């Protein structure tokens, strides 16, 4: 799997926009990989929103992953899921999703990343690299050095996440990340499309 440099994650609380509208604005800025992240809506509400977002993503040529919920990913025909340490184990998710859909997996230490290297996942996420404000109870900050350490250990595509900004993203890529996952500095911008375009232009040159 070849990851695009920029990996956007939606956030309705931060933007006040539907997941579908966020997908549209991000895609207009050149983003091609988007995760739908929803922590407040009921399963039915998230299903309806995700279905609309995936429909728009198909029209715009965008890959969409669902955070946490394998059942919703299957129901809406998403391209895959992103799982955390407390979600359905990747092995079980792979059994349900089959061989072709994408599975990403969050790790927060070198030990977890080593374990993830042997799992049936398409990419490993490491973080938070910097302090983040999009999680109520974030894991301890791991820093750029952890990105380097994980890169030295795994050949799987590596996504860095957590507090990353346009200014720090090039440092994270230089440390070995294949992509940066961004929430606040991207969808929290006054003009999401313009901010997305900036990310794509800056990181595509690296």
How big is the CA angle at 58 (ends 155 and 27), to the nearest 5 degrees?
Answer: 75
Distance CA(44)–CA(36), nearest Å, equals: 15
Choose, from 24, 25, 32, 37, the residue flagged as catalytic.
37
**Known active-site residue 106:** yes
**Known active-site residue 109:** no
Interior/surface letters 57-75, b for 16+ CB within 10 angstroms, e for the rest: beeeebbbbbbbbbebbee
Choose, from 106, 151, 156, 195, the residue flagged as catalytic.
106
Q: Is the peptide bond before 128 cis (omega within 30 degrees of 0)?
A: yes
Give the DSSP letter of residue 131.
-
Choose, from 39, 92, 135, 204, the residue flagged as catalytic.
135
**Known active-site residue 42:** no
CB within 8 Å of 95: residues ≥ 6 apart:
none
Crossing angle of the two packed helices 43-60 and 19-28, in degrees rounded to 10: 20
Active site residues: 37, 106, 135
């Amino acid at each position: 799997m070849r990851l695009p440099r920029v990996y956007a994650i939606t956030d309705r609380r931060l933007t006040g926009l539907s997941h579908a509208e966020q997908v549209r604005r991000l895609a207009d800025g050149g983003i091609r990989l988007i995760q739908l992240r929803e922590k407040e809506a009921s399963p039915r509400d998230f299903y309806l929103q995700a279905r609309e977002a995936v429909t728009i993503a198909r029209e715009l040529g965008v890959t969409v992953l669902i955070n946490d919920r394998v059942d919703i990913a299957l129901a809406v025909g998403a391209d895959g899921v992103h799982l955390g340490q407390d979600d359905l184990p990747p092995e079980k998710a792979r059994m349900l999703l089959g061989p072709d859909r994408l599975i990403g997996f969050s790790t927060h230490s070198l030990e977890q990343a080593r374990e993830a290297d042997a799992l049936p996942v398409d990419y490993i996420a490491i973080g938070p690299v910097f302090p983040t404000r999009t999680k109520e109870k974030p894991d301890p900050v791991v820093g750029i050095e952890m990105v380097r350490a994980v890169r030295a250990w795994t050949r799987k595509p590596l996504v860095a996440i957590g507090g990353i900004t346009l200014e720090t993203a090039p440092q994270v890529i230089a440390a070995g990340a294949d992509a940066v996952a961004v929430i606040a500095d991207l969808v929290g911008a006054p003009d999401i499309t313009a901010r997305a375009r900036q990310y794509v232009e800056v990181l595509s040159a690296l």
